[in-house]
Amino acid sequence: MHSVTSQGGDRAGINEGRVAIVTGAGRGIGRGHALELARQGARVVVNDLGTAVDGAGGSDGPAGEVVDAIRAAGGEAVANGDDVSDWDGAGRLLRAALDTFGGLDILVNNAGILRDRMLVNMRVEEWDAVIRVHLRGTFAPTRWVAGYWRDRAKAGETNDARIINTTSAAGLYGNVGQVNYGAAKAGIAALTVIAAHELGRYGVTVNAINPGARTRMTQGVQPGAYASVAPGEFDAADPENVAPLVAWLAGPAAAGITGRVFTVRGGQIRVLEGWHAGPAATRGRRWDPRDLGPVVRALVDQATPPADIYGEIPAADH
């Protein structure tokens, strides 16, 4: 796959000649990433276990189907069924890219599961499973590829590499019934910012996306939330709408954009503004706890209120 069609005609893809890994790429948003990266000229390792939404079961079918679609369109791809939350499995995932395509330029961490439950009812197994797949499943591939790119840099090679992680509104703003998922996704956002600071010296940028789309996971959380559209109309909930931003962030043109989190849904892209210092109260000695009531309440009243689940700041009461 060496060209894409645009309104201006055929032109080289923005990821021409690059090698990408996409985790959780068998269905939904990850599938869209893999197809778009291939459409833009990348050679893709399509990783997926083929599990249910809760992580149960497994099948090599979804990854293989994506590989078949990429090859049918003239691209290059290979399927990988390793568990990205397993340390050795994540290493084999990197090795698949190196052995098949001779290098690696892009890692898209997308794999995830859901085991939603209210905090007071959540079992430790449900907590551990979600934290493992999302947070460890982002850390392990990231650690392996970071080591690969560091070694290249120390050997005098030049990297123009990209890591793109997947966070969520549940982790950025909070959502009832998703304390395990939200904690993992908040951790991924923090991992993104810190890794961006650490890996820039090796020629690696690290960003994250907060996608909004109709998937198996969102349909379970918000059944019926996505209205159907008439044939020919723009479907803002189509998971493939997320992929163009990922493809751009994965390309050479995105050099210098790092440590950022973007929301992308439908035709809208927003850059998110994270934690920053707000109103302060200072005194030249230790605070007495008995004095803090009016001080803390005044600070909270002056501060920007927390965003809602959509990232919007609630309107002030009048």
- From 148, 173, 181, 202, active-site residue: 181
Q: How far is CA 116 from the centre of its chain?
A: 19
Task: Let me know the angle formed at the C-alpha of 299 by 304 and 296, rounded to the nearest 5 degrees.
Answer: 135
User: Is 181 a known active-site residue?
Assistant: yes
- From 148, 168, 173, 202, active-site residue: 168
Backbone angles phi, psi at 65, to 5 degrees: -65, -40
User: Is 173 a known active-site residue?
Assistant: no
Give, in order, the Cα–Cα distances in Å from 69 to each of 32, 97, 111: 11, 19, 20
For 200-258, where are the alpha helices, taking DSSP H only?
216-221, 243-249
Contact of 103 with 42, CB cutoff 8 Å: no
Who's near 173: CB < 8 A, 6+ residues apart? 306, 307, 308, 309, 310, 311
- From 185, 202, 226, 228, active-site residue: 185
User: Is 202 a known active-site residue?
Assistant: no
Residue showing tokens 């909070």: 174
Active site residues: 168, 181, 185
